[in-house]
Amino acid sequence: MHVKRSILGVGVTLVAGALVLSGCAGAGAGNTSGGKTTLTLATVNNPQMKDMEELKGEFEKKYPDISVKFIQMEENDLRDAVTKDVATKGGQYDIVTVGAYEVPIWAKNGWLSDLTQATSSKSYDVNDLFPPVRAGLTSGGKLYAVPFYGESSFLMYNKDIFAKAGLTMPERPTWDQVATMARQLKTPTQDGICLRGKPGWGELFAPLTTVVKTFGGNWYDSKWNATVDDAKFSAASQFYVNLVRDAGEADPVSFGFTECLNNFSQGKSAMWVDATSAAGSVEDPKASPVAGKVGYARSPVKETKESGWLWSWNLAIPATSKKKDAAETFVKWATSKDYQKLVGQKLGWSRVPPGARTSTYSIPQYQKAASAFAPITKQIMESVDPKNPGVEPQPYTGIQFVSIPEFQDIGNQVSQDMAEVFAGRSQLAPVLAKGQKLAQAAGDKQK
């Protein structure tokens, strides 16, 4: 009897505990109660977004009838979560951060709210947004998202290593020059260059597609015929693979942005070609031992004048949001000139979101705080052309990606196969031949 009672007692206690926990579970989804509107914002967990969350109190002070709940996610989780929410009209999010790749596709699907009217006021100054970035967020003449921060790509190099080797980095290096220097600087304990090799359309194929384009290749010609197995795409890919094998990291398949950032910041790599937004982390003395010792040059070229990519993380409002007015108020606040000044005053001028507004680069405090990389970032951001980044014309807008829904899958599959090439288990030709078939199938749908 005693045993039975004690077991029942334990069971009842546990069930009661579970119910109590269930009752106080979660933080509560966004809703409207007591005249206060709660917005739910789904975002990537990048430093600039974390700053936005830190400063949301300032917004809530200014607009006491609106509060904002941030849901931070890893980049791929965010893509999955937001895609399924907007595609199934779930309506769980009022504001989402969307990459430059998704905006035109989602806009065509009718998943995003038109922000043209909301951003037309003089005080917002929509013309201050970087023109190439704005062009990528516009579909059918309507603006569907506004940039929170933008980035291109450039070459970072360790000035100490270069000085020791007696090398000088040109302001606009070519890939041939970079390859020669990288091979020269490679030692058993130091990589000549760090380049992404991790599979993924947004990992390996971000830098590799820029190399392909400056070598004169592309994923498609102007009539959506795939050109993945042509001579120029092959030459660029072979160049990239050879360079990584000869002068790059020992295990390229494991190296994406994060790994290269760690490698370069630890002084283990002489050069690194990647996002301009990396400079903020590289120059952070609390996190990076090479802070203050890094030089910056334009992204290396072959046949084009420029080969930097163009990416932005943007704020958009899903068409399913029931709180569009409040959401627009927040979106405008977070992408305004005043917000940029607020970040500078409250968190430090080097933390101002880069690459979204041209006026950012005229703020004297920002110029001073980001003097190492701000001028070159602005030059690149203004000169890249997402409509015609390569040698031949292309039928889509985008530099390091093809703005069709199938590209994610194609890029992921081909990059998985490329990993086998890096590992020496496969040849490049069959990989590109397979990629050609995949790309052609997707291209045929666009014709």
Partner 1 sequence: MTTDALAPRATASARPLGRRLTAAGTRRRIRGGAITLLTWGVVVVFFFPVLWMVLTAFKPERQAATDPPTFLADWTLDSFGKVFARDMAPYLINSLTASVGSTIIVLLLAIPAAYALSIRPIVKVRDALFFFISTRFMPVAASIIPVYLILQTLGLLDNINALMILYVGVNLPIAIWMMRSFLSEVPVEIVEAAQIDGAKLRTELFRVVIPIVLPGIAAAGLICFIFAWNEYFLASILTSTAARTTPPFLASFVDGRGFFLAVLSAASTIAVLPVVIAGWVAQKQLVRGLAMGAIK
Query: Rule CB under 8 A: which residues touch partner 1?
Result: 1, 3-4, 7, 11, 14-15, 17-18, 21-22, 24-30, 40, 42, 44-48, 69, 71-75, 77, 80-81, 84-85, 88, 90, 92-93, 257-258, 261-263, 265-266, 268, 275, 277-278, 280-281, 286-289
* Distance between CA atoms of residues 155 and 169, nearest Å: 10
To the nearest whole angstrom, how small is the minimum distance from the Cβ of residue 188 to partner 1? 13
* Min separation Cβ 336 and partner 1, Å: 22
CA distance 295 to 264: 12
333: its two tokens: 């606040």
Pick 93 or 224: Cβ nearer partner 1: 93
> Taking the complex as a whole, how short is the minimal distance between the CB of residue 313 and partner 1, in angstroms?
9
CB closer to partner 1, 68 vs 243: 68
Give 42 or 143: the residue with its C-beta nearer to partner 1. Answer: 42
* Pick 175 or 330: Cβ nearer partner 1: 330
Q: Are 381 and 150 in contact (CB under 8 A)?
A: yes
Name the H helices within 144-256. Answer: 159-165, 175-185, 205-214, 231-247
Residues 6+ apart with CB under 8 A from 125: 337, 359
How far is the C-alpha of 144 from the C-alpha of 312, rounded, in Å?
A: 13
Q: Which CB atom, from 39 or from 226, has the smaller least distance to partner 1? A: 39
Distances (CA, A) of 435 to 113, 183, 415, 438: 35, 29, 9, 5
Provide the minimum distance between the beta carbon of 353 and partner 1 in the complex, in angstroms, as a whole number: 11
Per-residue three-class SS string for 335-356 = CCHHHHHHHHHHHCHHHCCCCC
Least distance in Å: CB of 281 to partner 1?
Answer: 5
CA dist 179 → 233, 245, 249 (Å): 18, 11, 14
Which residue's CB is nearer to partner 1, number 268 or number 341?
Answer: 268
- Which CB atom, from 30 or from 389, has the smaller least distance to partner 1? 30
Least distance in Å: CB of 151 to partner 1?
8
Q: How far is the CB of 11 from partner 1 (least distance, A)?
A: 7
* The Cα angle at residue 31 between residues 60 and 82, in degrees rounded to 5: 95
First to last CA, the chain: 78
